[in-house]
Amino acid sequence: MKPKRVILLSPNPYSLYTLATLVLLTRAGTEVAGIGFRRLMNPSRVLFEGRRDGARLIKKVCRKLLWRRLADGGSARNSLSAFLAESSIQRESVPALCRRNGIPIRYCYDFNDADFVAWVKASSAQAIVFTGGGLLRQPLLDATPKGVLNCHMGILPRYRGMDLPEWALLCGDADSTGCCVHLMDSGVDTGPILMNHFVPPRTGDTVSRLRGRIEYQMPSVLVSATVGYLEDAIALRPQSPEDGKQFFIMSPALREVVEYRLSRRTISTAQTSR
């Protein structure tokens, strides 16, 4: 059997999601041929994400990079931090782990830069595993024989785009929350599906707790789908554009409705269990 060899793409050197994915891939016997990082101090990235996310960008950066430990503190078994602890993964920066294990790393402003694409091609990896870092263009999508795998926080093909746990709950589709591993193509979450993993809301969940529980599952789901795909054990399920809709960032008013619905769900579940 050919050795499983992948390149990992990371949104920043401190990504817990990348760290967890890297360790799990290694434990599953997959060779990580290199990791590409997007530079944090990157004007075009800040501009793009600022235009896309507006004020939410500041909140996102604070939550992910500055006070993640505090934010995760109140929700055990509910976050990537808890996942790392339970999987005996030492919390450190990804480049530090790579240096210790001799994994090549490369920083870039944009994953679509010609230099970076050439580096990926030269690595002779079978596939790219994407853990975040912006839009990917066709040359990078075609840089490896088996394409780019992504774990998407929504059930495909129905829910594409952003804020998908919230949208599924608003659409009354509470059993369609979870994550999905798919191959990336030039569309928004329209590539062939490898694996859907359902994480329905539980009694007492808020939106952020539900998101935390999905995040908790994402590294394992991504790695098991990657390994299965590289071993040709998982068949691809193509999507067509009309199978789903693209959802956008949810407005605060609708977000409040979703929180309210979740709280009502809590009450009704509690009543049923009596």
Partner 1 sequence: MRALAVGSRVEIPEDASFPAMQRPQYKNISLAHLQSLRWSLYGGAVAPNEAGMWVEAALRFCELNVWRLDRRMRGKWGAAAAPATVATAALLLEGHLVYSDPRLLNTVLKIRKSRLFRSVRRTHATEGIAALAAAVADVSDECVQRYSQP
Query: Does 51 engage in binding with partner 1 (CB under 8 A)?
Result: yes
Q: What is the Cα–Cα distance from 66 to 203, expressed in whole angstroms?
A: 29
Query: Does 249 engage in binding with partner 1 (CB under 8 A)?
Result: yes
* 273 CB-contact burial (10 Å; exposed 0-12 / middle 13-18 / buried 19+): exposed
Nearest approach, Cβ of residue 229 and partner 1 (Å): 31
Q: How many residues are present in the chain?
A: 274
Among 167, 189, 215, 219, binds partner 1 (CB under 8 A): 167
Residue 2 or 51: the one with the smaller Cβ distance to partner 1 is 51
Residue 203 or 251: the one with the smaller Cβ distance to partner 1 is 251
Residue 53 or 185: the one with the smaller Cβ distance to partner 1 is 53
Residue linked to tokens 């979450």? 189
Q: Which of 184, 198, 183, 195 is nearest to 228 (CA)?
A: 195
3-state class of 258 per DSSP? helix
- Contacts with partner 1, 228-247, as mask; x by CB under 8 A: -----------------x-x
What φ, ψ does residue 67 adopt, rounded to 5°?
Answer: -120, 40
Nearest approach, Cβ of residue 135 and partner 1 (Å): 13
* H/E element, 128: strand 127-130
Residue 161 or 192: the one with the smaller Cβ distance to partner 1 is 161
Where along the sequence are the contacts to partner 1 (CB under 8 A)?
Answer: 50-52, 54, 167, 170-171, 245, 247-251, 253-254, 257, 260-261, 264
